[in-house]
Amino acid sequence: MFANMAKHFWNLPFCIVWFSLLLFGAPFLILSGNTEIVFSPFLFGSIIFLEKSGRAAAIAGGVSIGLAAEINYISVFSIFLPAIYLAFQRARKSPLDVFLTALGTIIGFIIPLLPYLFVEKSVFLHYIGMQRLYLGHYGASPQERLQSIELFLLLFLCFAPIIFVSLKNCTKSPQRVALIWTLSGVVACCVSGHPFRHYFLLVLIPLSLLIASQWKTLPLRMFWISLAPAILLAGYGTIHDISHNLKLYCRIQGMDFPALHRMIGKTPVLNIRASHVPFALADLQSQTPFLFRHHVRILYGDNARAWYGQELARTPRFVMTSPQLCMPPLDMPEICAFISERYRLLRTENDEFGFALYERKPG
């Protein structure tokens, strides 16, 4: 979709955009299902609308930003600089357009929430409360934030040559917007505060547009030389991820998730530091919606143990933990003692997405 938009609206070669995303995105988990690749067409759509004149286009551009923000809040930081650049250009002709874009952003953010407001209001309120609590505790430590800045700047250096040689050729508006969007992605990565490599897609996605715009502009030799560091990084990422995914696929096939579903069915399962993958692949119901492996620690910090104890007090029929949770050295001895006393072990899988499944003892 993104490559088609680039071809239709910016007249960029489809194959260059598509292959840039696929190949250069290998080190950044581009096929992993993270939201960065999902909201990118909405951000690109907002730019396309904001480049057009008219009040309807101003509102539509804002709605696209709002929809992207609903998918992931970090998209706002990713689109911030190009949105400001385009809004400034529009403001010189029609200051009202800036207000309409802001209004459209609010509308776009609210639209996906409307069904929950009218149909499942309790679910909506629970979700909003959880989001507020989660985001309030999501901030990274100074050390982790420094690590993330170091990582993203190092990755940025691999793509710096193509950006540098593009600076002289950014004579047209789409090229300037792609460059500004790329730089805004760097800011978004640093704002994230966490050294997760898939965040670099915030840079790579607009950068694919910049690469495609230079395909016919730069001399062919200079084009490939400027991409050489990125190609080496992509080669390593491709080989590593293909090998990792093939091994992971074989291990997952041996875990027999259909049997796990037949064993549990739709009975709610309490998750204590287990991966979300068994829940997804075995179609299990979590006793604590929206909360998985690391979320509880982020939300409650040192009180995470007390929270797990509170959930165990509800005596769920099934409890799924990480396979190492109750192996020495014990991190939560009181939780493991409770499980040992009142539950029996049904199944254990020692793997990246492994688990220990317990069932409540009769009586």
> Any idea what the Cα angle at residue 86 is, between residues 83 and 89, rounded to 5°?
145
Q: pTM, whole model, 2 decimals?
A: 0.83
Would you state the pLDDT for residue 312? 93
Would you state the pLDDT for residue 130? 79
Would you state the pLDDT for residue 217? 84
What single string gives the DSSP state of each residue in 172-188? SHHHHHHHHHHHHHHHH
At 363, the amino acid letter reads: G
Would you state the pLDDT for residue 119? 77
Do 90 and 60 contact (CB within 8 A), yes or no?
Answer: no
Q: Distance (Å, rounded) from C-alpha 26 to C-alpha 3?
A: 17
Would you state the pLDDT for residue 109? 93
Would you state the pLDDT for residue 32? 84
Cα-based distances in Å from 152 to 11, 31, 126, 189: 30, 19, 34, 7
Q: Which two structure tokens, joined as six digits, stand for 218?
A: 């730069």
Cα-based distances in Å from 331 to 164, 228, 322, 328: 50, 46, 12, 8
Q: Distance (Å, rounded) from C-alpha 307 to C-alpha 336?
A: 14
One digit per residue, pLDDT tens: the chain, 363 residues? 999 999 999 999 999 999 999 999 999 989 888 999 999 999 999 999 999 989 999 999 999 999 999 999 999 999 999 999 998 888 888 889 999 999 999 999 999 888 887 877 777 788 788 788 777 777 767 888 888 888 999 999 999 999 998 887 777 788 899 999 999 999 999 888 888 899 999 999 999 999 999 988 888 899 999 999 999 999 998 998 889 889 888 888 888 899 999 999 999 999 999 988 899 999 999 998 777 777 888 888 788 889 999 999 999 999 999 998 988 888 889 999 999 999 999 999 887 788 999 999 987
Do 356 and 323 contact (CB within 8 A), yes or no?
Answer: yes
Q: Distance (Å, rounded) from C-alpha 74 to C-alpha 3?
A: 22
Q: Distance (Å, rounded) from C-alpha 213 to C-alpha 175?
A: 7
Q: Distance (Å, rounded) from C-alpha 264 to C-alpha 282?
A: 9
What single string gives the DSSP state of each residue in 322-337? -TTTTSSSPSSHHHHH
Would you state the pLDDT for residue 140? 65
